Structure 1
């Protein structure tokens, strides 16, 4: 009985020494006692046996810049225990400042204030600072992307944190999918040597979309169109061989652009891009990737689900490869814009998330698209977005309508994204190849 009383006291002392607030200590206690997958240090050991350390990871996406500040407890296992995450985001993404790079530096400087408040001052010089940019910068001209990254590097170099080599870079899309898979399987407790069951990931960003899962059938690996669809990484003295691919230009915002026929278009100041996926009387400006487009519904034509589906199909058909094995082989977690649009459509709760079948997206897309004139949706793009998600899942990846997806924003109170996987990779060099 005595031991049970001393454990929380020991943790309180351990955590309060690091400068965490009472509220953070409370959540840390809850997280710690919820033994993630048996790699917590044994509490009968001396308190100094486990060391608390921090890491700061920036996710520079196409529609926003996010900061993840992780608190870890080093354990005897190969991977540390994640104790806490502080998350903050700012819109728009760095790519919106392609013509004024100093604003990108300002964005990062603002977010660094959050890191300074979260990480104890004594730990600053030991806490690594890393930024990885995704499709927003991959879609930009190389010299513009480099100027943005140079500004970020300057802000990093003048900060009091530890700035590792290659701390600021554009991440390739394949790594984005693999690292998101690592994050989700770490958080759901499937990332260990004995695991037979893992979860697949579907990530829908603004500029690109990723699919990653661990195949059960050899034919899935053998039937890929090119070797790029297979990636390996090492952990726990074993190699994981994943089916993974990132489709640049198939993120939700980039798909809107392609649906509207506006990719690489000239004369943006006078051209109007029309779509059957938009309400007939709708006309507005829409910004993406630092450019402004005039968009509208088709006032003389028809609007609705069928016509909209034909429009978005050309963004998917012949581009997205259908893996040999998808049917019932994996549980898939879907996040980012899959989650956001499901919330906007009233399909799931914005805090808890939930399980959806692919047909639920289809049903709601039909309802939204076919009633745009009667009931204006929350967003004028909701019909287009839901139809694109339906098309991407069905005609793109080849999921059955009855496939169940786990829609989530957070797992164990941690953001579902590649950022945690990238942080674990930074500390452990998972040898992704």
Structure 2
């Protein structure tokens, strides 16, 4: 009997799969198509790549025409069909999470939009899980952002408990999320998730005062427009944060407002900062962690306004000290005529960011922030940091 040796070759057990996530924000709808690779069944998959595409305006702009809102989702699903191999369509889950834009709509209008999206998903070739279309609350928004950033930066893989914090400034809410170092922080002041993650968030409606309206601009996005009531007209608001001769109609939450500068008054950084401080000061708890050496990533409108004002390069992001936002806010506010073609709200936006970081959260002037986009770029092993 003759025996023949058998040469064994390692079997390639790696598996590639996909996931489709819609982020229905206040100012736009974004699709993220993720590619994951699982090299071994007993190991966690790693993020290999992401396809990102966005459209404006956001779903909330179609509150009276939900069918048109559904068409924006159909258009984005075409991007998914081109990205995901056809033989993977039935196994690829598609999910939409809406944030403050829909949270702030009347319930019946928000539900009509969600129902329309469900119909669009059901007619698509992708896998539609239960509860695939929903409105995400601000708490989950902050927690998931924290998990995402720490996954992409590799901190969730590390054996140590060292992580980074996140600062998110969106269209209708703002979150600061971090790993607490102080027991007082974890127990007393903030939301706690298994004693590991703390999140501090503030929705716009919580910032309402009798003589000051703190609202979200539907075009520029962040929760940073505060206007003093002018006379007895409860729909006209003025602010020293706007150019003196500026006046514009804008709609938010189904109500149209007239906003303007103060034609016969003064404008500039000092007056604007005072207006913002009346809204921010004392309302937000200042956690111990921001005063230490914790690393924070800032994205969304922190990034957009830093780029718009020339603080960082839009293609790469960058490191920014809190005092840099302050310095640039002064320049913008005291030279509004120069920056007005870019955005008449830039002074207001930059001053709000400065005041929120300093007076609200309690960051020091020399605190260094990693200002990045939210879009992910993949590489071997795991994803990179947020890029937006």
**After TM superposition, is the score higher than 0.5?**
yes
SS in structure 2 of the partner of residue 383 of structure 1: helix
CA shift for structure 1 position 375: 5.6
Whichever structure has more helix as a proportion of its residues is 1
5+ long unaligned stretches in structure 2: 1-8, 208-215
Give the whole-Å Cα distance in 2 for the aligned partners of 1:415 and 1:130: 22
Match of 1:396 in 2: 360
Give the whole-Å Cα distance in 2 for the aligned partners of 1:61 and 1:405: 24
SS in structure 2 of the partner of residue 260 of structure 1: strand
SS in structure 2 of the partner of residue 62 of structure 1: coil
Match of 1:255 in 2: 223
CA shift for structure 1 position 160: 0.7
Give the whole-Å Cα distance in 2 for the aligned partners of 1:179 and 1:366: 34
Assess if the C-alpha contact under 8 Å between 2:339 and 2:346 holds in 1.
no
SS in structure 2 of the partner of residue 406 of structure 1: strand
Give the whole-Å Cα distance in 2 for the aligned partners of 1:211 and 1:117: 36
SS in structure 2 of the partner of residue 46 of structure 1: coil
Assess if the C-alpha contact under 8 Å between 1:361 and 1:389 holds in 2.
yes
Match of 1:96 in 2: 61
CA shift for structure 1 position 286: 3.0
Match of 2:37 in 1: 73
Give the whole-Å Cα distance in 2 for the aligned partners of 1:290 and 1:88: 27
Provide TM-score, normalisation by structure 1.
Answer: 0.78
5+ long unaligned stretches in structure 1: 1-43, 233-239, 420-433
Pick from 181, 193, 199: which aligns with 1:231? 193
RMSD between aligned residues: 2.4
- The equivalences for 1:20-419 within 5 A come to 45-47=10-12, 49-76=13-40, 78-192=43-157, 194-224=159-189, 229-232=191-194, 241-249=196-204, 253=221, 255-257=223-225, 259-261=226-228, 271-289=235-253, 291-373=255-337, 376=340, 378-409=342-373, 410=375, 412=377
- Cα deviation, 1:215-246, whole Å, max 9, x if unaligned, reads 2232321331xxx62123xxxxxxx6111122
Q: Measured at CA, do residues 241 and 78 of structure 1 come closer, stay the same or move farther in structure 2, by a change above 3 Å?
A: farther
Assess if the C-alpha contact under 8 Å between 1:280 and 1:296 holds in 2.
yes
CA shift for structure 1 position 418: 12
Match of 1:27 in 2: none
Q: Measured at CA, do residues 375 and 201 of structure 1 come closer, stay the same or move farther in structure 2, by a change above 3 Å?
A: closer
Give the whole-Å Cα distance in 1 for the aligned partners of 2:387 and 2:282: 27
Give the whole-Å Cα distance in 2 for the aligned partners of 1:417 and 1:139: 26
Assess if the C-alpha contact under 8 Å between 2:175 and 2:199 holds in 1.
yes
Provide TM-score, normalisation by structure 2.
Answer: 0.86
Assess if the C-alpha contact under 8 Å between 2:50 and 2:377 holds in 1.
no
SS in structure 2 of the partner of residue 322 of structure 1: coil
Give the whole-Å Cα distance in 2 for the aligned partners of 1:104 and 1:187: 31
Give the whole-Å Cα distance in 1 for the aligned partners of 2:289 and 2:110: 37
Assess if the C-alpha contact under 8 Å between 1:96 and 1:288 holds in 2.
no
Q: Measured at CA, do residues 183 and 308 of structure 1 come closer, stay the same or move farther in structure 2, by a change above 3 Å?
A: same
Give the whole-Å Cα distance in 2 for the aligned partners of 1:201 and 1:272: 35
Give the whole-Å Cα distance in 1 for the aligned partners of 2:168 and 2:283: 17
Assess if the C-alpha contact under 8 Å between 1:97 and 1:290 holds in 2.
no
SS in structure 2 of the partner of residue 73 of structure 1: strand
